[in-house]
Amino acid sequence: MKNTTLCYIEKDNKYLMIHRSDKKNDGSQGKWMGIGGHFEEGESPYDCVIREAKEESNLTLKSPVYRGVVTFNSDKYETEQMHLFTCSEFSGEIGSCNEGELYWIDKSKVKDLDMWSGDVIFLQLIEEGRKFFSLKLNYEGERLTEYYIDNKLYKL
């Protein structure tokens, strides 16, 4: 199982989103998502999200808020455990990203973007103000078939 982080950086009622277009062999090619990536040896979730934000956006996160753990299960991809953050305190100016284009997107329009179905669910949980949650997403290929929020099953 791989461990990753994802952060929704917030400013002026917008999220910083990446349109994944530049990384080769990317299972998320063409999708929109927050900033994040894979853990390096010895990193904590906080270490990883701060490093990934700096690498992908050139922003230095000051107080990322740990929002939840999301487990992705798929018959097509390796199981992934993602540590989800939001952050509204940061410094620096956005730089270029070698994985796609970065855009500030109004929060009300983010769910209209081409994104994984599960991302819409955890964004909703964030917007509802959940302090911390566990979310398990089960996919067949790219189709979300069911999910668990804090161990409660929801079938699609």
89-113: pLDDT as tens digits? 999 999 988 889 999 999 999 999 9
CA distance 123 to 118: 9
Residue with tokens 């983010």: 110
pLDDT at 24 over 90: no
CATH number, span 2-70+84-133: 3.90.79.10
pLDDT of residue 76 exceeding 80, the answer is: yes
Domain definitions of the chain by residue range: 2-70+84-133
Task: Tell me the average pLDDT of the chain.
Answer: 94
Q: CA–CA separation, 21 vs 35, rounded Å?
A: 14
Asked if residues 95 and 45 have their Cβ atoms less than 8 Å apart, the reply is no
pLDDT score recorded for residue 141: 87
